[in-house]
Structure 1
């Protein structure tokens, strides 16, 4: 089992293996990895007859085997890609487990002219490949590549490559700032790059532009946390809280951010009742339209009374955190549990 960086070094050296399984949270990194294999072997032309793509959610073993067994046309190699290969998940239904067992048997007898690539996306950050029994068994026969978060220098380089591909220059300082602010997911990063390029058409990108268009990672995390509170999915909210605390072990700062977010939603909810529109919130909050629209949508999942009570809960939690000797993480978890008691 290898990570993305090791895989990338192998590709640069020209080492192409006959089978791969890619897994992780970031589909764009996985797709880039697959494209690097295609570029080194048969090219990434969608009309290439030696490239076969199979939907892993709708396939069976015979489809995969027949695709692998067919000889390549006027080429030494052919590539078979099985995307959304959810039968590789540790816990699957009976049909998926049956397909997995046949793949496991077939993996040791693959034709030398075929490169088989399978990938599936993790559900959340808690899922790890080394805890997946299926992947551990297949890793003895197929190269499992875990596309986890990239090292800082690799991460920044890949973002810079996206700007270069779009033929847009960005200064080194602005690039580093953008990398810090944007969510670490290349599907999101590519959309944010497009948005930034469109906004700064004909001129250089500044830090002010980045601040205007991109909310910080912390704000995104708090938004996700509040979304789960609205859905009353407290167990998942606790997982998100743990991730936030892992990234920034600053309980007071985090509770302040959550409280500020609820206050913002309360003000929006109150403003909507008074007849305010998106344009009004853009001016008042000094936020882009798409951010205001997201906040309005989230505010509609609460009543004013709920938001008022949630703000009070945050204030109480903040006061408790100031007391010496308390278990700060437990206080944060207790806050989430207490949100269930807040009635509409």
Structure 2
């Protein structure tokens, strides 16, 4: 059994499993459940379906004590190189109970692959983690996808699929899918089937195969606000009102907030080089997108502060706090406030 590093990425761990390079003990923990679910499925598939009655064991930590599970780990596989023991819902037991697995992790059976899953939470088991790292195991932390790192994750997955994507297409996918990784991977899989290897994902491709309008979306709304294009901004809001299923107001307001809060950051950034401005807002490139350049011309710091206040008010109202207005009326009012903000506070 090959030794693995103590911490790997999701793609790195997938590659190791696909190459049949197994570690004796794995701890999967963290907030992002999608990665953990995918990895658990891969661990289950290590054992052929015909042999699973004998060599695949699945335990639920709240129902089975650590000693019983460790005894199962010390058995030998039947007519197979490995047995796989999976412990699910380990986040639901006390830290001292989870930590007991360090006794096994310090002397693992090399023909057993033990997988401990803490889905949706970080494992608070220092002794277990130390023994896993010391004895050739793998600790994988599944970190939550945020609005800031969603873009690099999307573009990275697209490259792995042998495709390219335009900047506007990337922004459209990020706004449309958000941080829902399951939905993201499903949508990109659709494009992988529809496009030839090496193809570029354009806004037109997204509109045709995913159903998101290339002209009426959150990316275009932000662009209209950056340019102070009144007519286009209100046309987009009207389109959203007529197509509410694909354009929830709460997502749109979140997108507008991200743009204007980032715009305030670049406004106050001391280093005015484009690479520094990009770094300030977490963009991995050396040139600042045109939307930010336009926004810096049209909105000063006082206007931005006023706009951020209005966005927060609109966000609360859209969620039913202190208002019974239609959510698209709230969005319409917000767009008006943004475009006419006097910046006198």
Q: Determine if contact 2:317/2:323 at 8 Å carries over to the other structure.
A: no
Q: Distance in 2 between matches of 1:2 and 1:56?
A: 23
Q: Count residues in correspondence.
A: 240
8 Å CA contact 1:81–1:118 kept in 2: the answer is: yes
Residues 1:104 and 2:102 aligned together = yes
State the 1:221 CA deviation. 11
Tell whether 2:250 aligns with 1:255.
no
Structure 1 match to 2:30: 24
Per-residue deviation at 1:265? 4.9
Change (3 A) 1:171 1:152: closer
Report the counterpart of residue 147 of structure 1 in structure 2. Answer: 142
- Cα deviation 1:284-319 (Å, max 9, x = unaligned): 6799xxxxxxxxxxxxxxxxxxxxxxx9xxxxxx99
**For residues 266 and 214 of structure 1, do their structure 2 counterparts lie closer, same or farther at Cα, with a shift above 3 Å needed?**
closer
Match for residue 83 of structure 1 among 78, 84, 88? 88
Structure 1 residues 58-207: aligned runs within 5 Å:
58-86=63-91, 93=94, 96-97=95-96, 99-123=97-121, 133-134=126-127, 136-138=129-131, 139-141=133-135, 142-148=137-143, 149=145, 154-158=153-157, 172-173=165-166, 176-181=170-175, 182-187=177-182, 189=184, 204-207=209-212
Deviation of residue 21 (structure 1)? 0.5
Of 6, 15, 19 in structure 1, the residue corresponding to residue 21 of structure 2 is 15
Question: What is the TM-score with the length of structure 1 in the denominator?
Answer: 0.52
- Structure 1: segments with no counterpart, 5+ residues: 165-169, 223-244, 273-280, 288-310, 312-317, 324-344
Whether the 8 Å contact between 1:61 and 1:102 is mirrored in structure 2 is: yes
Name which of 22, 33, 52 aligns with 1:48. Answer: 52
Cα shift at 1:180: 1.7
Long gaps (5+) in structure 2? 1-5, 192-204, 218-239, 241-245, 258-279, 284-300, 335-340
> Distance between the aligned counterparts of 1:217 and 1:16, measured in 2?
44
Equivalent residues in 2 for 1:189-268, closer than 5 Å: 189=184, 204-208=209-213, 211=217, 213=246, 215=248, 216=251, 219=254, 252=305, 254-265=308-319
Aligned partners of 2:99 and 2:126 also within 8 Å: no
Q: CA RMSD in A?
A: 5.0
User: CA deviation digits over 1:204-261, x for unaligned, max 9?
Assistant: 3344289462554862898xxxxxxxxxxxxxxxxxxxxxx9879x973543321222
